[in-house]
Structure 1
Amino acid sequence: MEPRDQRPWLMKLGAFLIFIYLAKRGAKFMAQEHTKEQHLSRALKSRHITMIAIGGAIGTGLFLGSGSAIQAAGPSIILTYLIVGIFCFFMMRALGELLLADPSKHSFIDSVKEYLGDRMEFVAGWAYWSCWLTLAMADLTATGIYLQYWFPGLPQWVGPLVILLLLMLVNMINVGLFGELETWFSMIKVLAIVALIVVGLAMVALHTKTASGPASLANLVNYGGFFPKGAVGFLMSFQMVVFAFVGIEMVGLTAGETANPDEDIPKAINTLPVRIGLFYIGSMLAIMAVYPWHDIKVSSSPFVQVFAGIGITGAAGILNFVVLTAAMSATNSSIFSTSRSLYSLAQGGNGPKAFQELSRQAVPVKAMRFSSLILFVVVILTYIVPAGIFNLISGVSTINFIIVWLIILWCHIKYRAQHPGGNQFAMPGFPYTSWLTIAFFIGVLIILLFIPATRLSLIISLLFFVVLFVVSRKWSK
């Protein structure tokens, strides 16, 4: 037998080392000088904040995983999105009131320190940092698969590596460029959803025939009614839908870098119900009006199924570009949010002091390099560890997001106890809406306990928070 040619592997290793060298040199160059006055720049504009909020509410799950959600609950998934959207809106209103109580604060993590104490800031801050890091790991790893759609021979590790380096360098230049890039990423996702809704409405209006029959709103009730999977299927759908909303709270990290927080943050939060109605409920209505819910494929995206139904050639390629954009958006958001989380922790004494150092572009460069390095290392590990382990970590991350939301709501209640009148962005219906929202998210966690696929992730998440509490005690000493 002839010896195996090792040159392809040597070339891959060489490329890998070159990228590492360039990343290190680039990061070192960007961090050569630091501002004497350590302040984040307020370069995020109103449109940036609005699109960051939109980008946080739309992930790859809507484009790729909505078929599974539809199969789990049928048309009642529309009601699930509506209910979850309402409670997420209340959580965001609580977050907004906390931020506007003192616009000088860098993020909601600073509010946690003030109203819940140092230890809770440590727990919430490091938990939130880990949430975004693991969430981006899944999306960043998937970019290698998406790129192979156009470049079949491309090694799967090359795409994530290049994308990570580019996004890291973009974030190091200044926060305004991050906001601009995230704006364009969000616009691509929004255009894809609007196109789906317009196509769906046109097919319904024209009674376009598909393989399953004519497109019609009657498809929402003609196949087993609005609740074809009964109460159990309806309740089980809540965990899928809640996971689709993780990331919407990222607006809470932009307070220290927003040009006009008193106007921009309320505007971004108050438009959340409109976005939910248009993007989630509108897309679900369009999909299930075109095809009966039981004919929606789980193996492929419902978006592709609808676009292909009217003869759009290359629908799969178009969607691949959209999900690649969504994955890059998640990674971009992760680099921003993890670095700002570490910056806030360092400012509050619950993280290494080096993480509060800013470059001359007013970017927490050391915090960013640390998070990006860990993100890069874990991306490499995903090609080694079994897929089941990584899926488990991703599940823990999304459950931790829910717990962080509960901490935000708890923090807001403590704030209102000290300031009964609230401020100009007072939570509507307080305190009833606050306690009802807390009860809802706790109810979702209880549902997760009865689902075999999420039970272990929930247990690990709770143990993770216990560990953080123990470590916080050691850190305070």
Structure 2
Amino acid sequence: MLPSHSPNDVLHQDLSASLKRAMSTRHLVMLSLGGAIGTGLFLGSGEVIAQTGPIGAILAYFLGGLIAYMVMLCLGELAVHMPSSGSFGVYAQHFIGPATGYMITWLYWLTWTATLGTEFTAAALLMQEWFPTIPVWIWTLMFAALVLILNISSTRIFAESEFWLALVKVITVTSFIALGLLAIFGLLSFQGQETAPLFSNLTTHGWFPQGIFPIFATMLIVNFAFSGTELIGVAAGESKDPAKQVPKAINTAIWRLLIFFIGTIVVISALLPYEQAGLHTAGVSSSPFVTVFSYLGIPYAEDLMRFVIITALLSAANSGLFAASRMMWSLSVRKQLPAIFSRLSQSGTPYIAILVTLLGAIPGLLSEQFAPETIFKNLLGIAAFTMVVVWMSICLSQFNFRREWYRQGHQRQELKFAVPWFPLIPILGLVFCLITCLSMAADPEMLVGFIGCLIFMAACYLSYFLLYHPRA
């Protein structure tokens, strides 16, 4: 049941303990790009190609980008009208229900906290390949300390650090696509040959060598690759002018991501036989980026990609700690956590929430010592599933918000940013995300993570009704 009060008034409490508004449009765009461009693209893209074939991978990433765009349009309308660092948790609270808002906030906190430790550990393992005599735990502590300092200093310092970390990835992907296209059209030698395959690899084994089904089976991987775009909604509460910056950032980020992801898939698929794209060898060398750069004659290709992937991991950890701590801050502001979690430093950062969130990364840090493959795979599955559930809540919140908006006599033209083709966009976004969630249940390797997520969601609802639900 929707709240009886006006959407214009729903966020006074959340905005009362306001954070510093220090982010510009370029920060929002790079935060979104940085959150999405990561190991899923550098290491996981080859796996999707190997499972679906080149054309199938292009379709899968295009569909994934389309879903992400629909969700971000819904988030944009909400974030422009009601900018809040609690973002979709606050929106779900008011436009789906208080218990769901509570659950979504904790779920998004879990999404990032579950992967923080694995990102520090993975970056440390890559550093150990360069410096084998230095223990992994030293690098892990150093990276954790660096990300903590960047987050706790000030919003401005965090935004600048994320801008430059994300820029490394953007330059790498742009260079990869540009050099790959030059090779495809015979302007650069490839594997010592004057001309590359010129797209012949795309259909050598037919349009869909493994059939249509793998395209849908890989959608969880693909959707997770686009996760991070929703960070724009979290950052909207700390941006200088959300009404102007958020729509521009959403459109810029999504279209660039589509170009980056599909361009990367086209280059890899055109230059490498699809059976080779997903080969898993040890370390960074399994990345199709390394293979293509090596064939193009780029010196130290493996070292270059190791540096880029370490940067990607630190960027993800940096933005993840930012997003998760803001969820905890939001719960405290809404009186659903002790007031200490909303305490701000002199520079305007919720330092207690940041410190506690970092401590939540300990299970991920243990992944290197105890069953690393099992823990990592399940944490990745949990992160992917929870992200898609959050996206579903965004679509439903926007759908309910717009209906309430019309019911109160308002017009679409009154909104500074409005989702086009309402209600089709939120409904399609919700349905596609639901299908993606169900695909996780069909994967035996992700079943444990799926069940764990359902238990966590049920525990959130139970704790809300026990602790905060008003009794008659």
Taking structure 2 as the reference length, what is the TM-score of the superposition? 0.89
Deviates most, 425-434 or 271-280? 271-280
**Post-superposition shift, 1:308?**
0.3
Q: Does 1:193 align with 2:173?
A: yes
Aligned residue among 153, 156, 178 for 1:176 = 156
* Alignment correspondent of 1:63: 42
Q: Alignment partner of 1:254: what SS?
A: helix
- Contact kept, 8 Å, 1:135 with 1:398, in 2: the verdict is no
Q: Which residue of 2 aligns with 1:109?
A: 89
Q: CA deviation at 1:214?
A: 4.8
The verdict on how the C-alpha distance between 1:402 and 1:297 changes in structure 2, with shifts beyond 3 A counting, is closer
Q: Hey, what's the Cα distance between the residues in 1 that align with 2:330 and 2:225?
A: 26
Aligned to 1:338: 324
Q: 1:86 aligned to 66, 77, 95, which one?
A: 66
Look up the SS of the partner of 1:121 in the other structure: helix
Structure 2 match to 1:255: 236
Asked if 1:386 corresponds to 2:404, the answer is no
Cα drift, residue 219 of structure 1? 2.4
Match of 1:311, SS? coil
- 1:402 and 2:402 are equivalent in the alignment: no
1:283 maps to 264
Distance 1:380 1:433, change over 3 A: closer
Measure how far apart 1:345 and its partner are.
Answer: 0.9
| Equivalent in the alignment of 2:120 | 140
5+ residue gaps, structure 1: 1-36
8 Å contact from structure 1 (residues 212, 291) kept in 2 = no
Structure 2 residue aligned with 1:6: none
AA at the equivalent of 1:251? I
Distance change >3 Å, CA 174–CA 456, structure 1 → 2: same
- CA shift, 1:195, in A, is 0.9
Q: Among residues 50, 53, 72, which one is paired with 2:29 in the alignment? A: 50
For residue 233 of structure 1, report the CA deviation from its aligned partner. Answer: 2.1
Residue 460, structure 1, aligned to residue 452, structure 2: yes
Report the CA distance between 1:212 and its aligned residue: 10
Pair 385,458 (structure 1): closer, same or farther in 2 beyond 3 Å: same
Q: CA deviation at 1:220?
A: 4.2
Amino acid at match of 1:374: G
Structure 1 length-normalised TM: 0.88
Amino acid at match of 2:298: I
* Matched residue count: 440
Q: Equivalents in 2 of 1:459, 1:105: separation in Å?
A: 29
Deviant stretches of 4+, over 4 Å: 211-214
Question: Structure 2: 5+ residue runs without aligned partners?
Answer: 1-15, 281-285
Q: After TM superposition, list the pairs within 5 Å mapping 1:27-38 onto structure 2.
A: 38=17
Task: Determine the C-alpha separation between the residues in 2 that align with 1:247 and 1:284.
Answer: 20
* Equivalent in the alignment of 1:21: none
- Give the direction of change, closer, same or farther, for the CA distance of 1:220–1:263 in structure 2 (3 Å limit): farther
Q: Which of 385, 400, 406 in structure 2 is aligned with 1:414? A: 400
Q: Aligned partners of 2:253, 2:148: CA distance in 1, in Å?
A: 28
Report how far residue 156 of structure 1 moved: 0.8
181-190 vs 167-176, greater mean Cα deviation: 167-176
Q: Quote the offset at 1:106 in angstroms.
A: 4.9
The structure-2 alpha-carbon separation of the partners of 1:85 and 1:360, relative to structure 1 and needing over 3 Å to count, comes to same
Residue 256 of structure 1, CA deviation:
1.6
Q: What's the secondary structure of 1:248's corresponding residue?
A: coil
Q: Percent identity?
A: 32
Confirm whether residue 359 of structure 1 aligns to residue 345 of structure 2: yes
Contact 1:43 1:259 survives alignment (8 Å): yes
Of 429, 432, 440, the residue aligned with 1:440 is: 432
Quote the residue 1:219 is aligned against.
200
Calculate the aligned-residue CA RMSD, in Å: 1.9
Q: Tell me which amino acid in the other structure corresponds to 2:422.
A: F
Aligned equivalents of 1:413, 1:380: Cα separation in 2: 39
Higher deviation after alignment, 185-194 or 276-285: 276-285
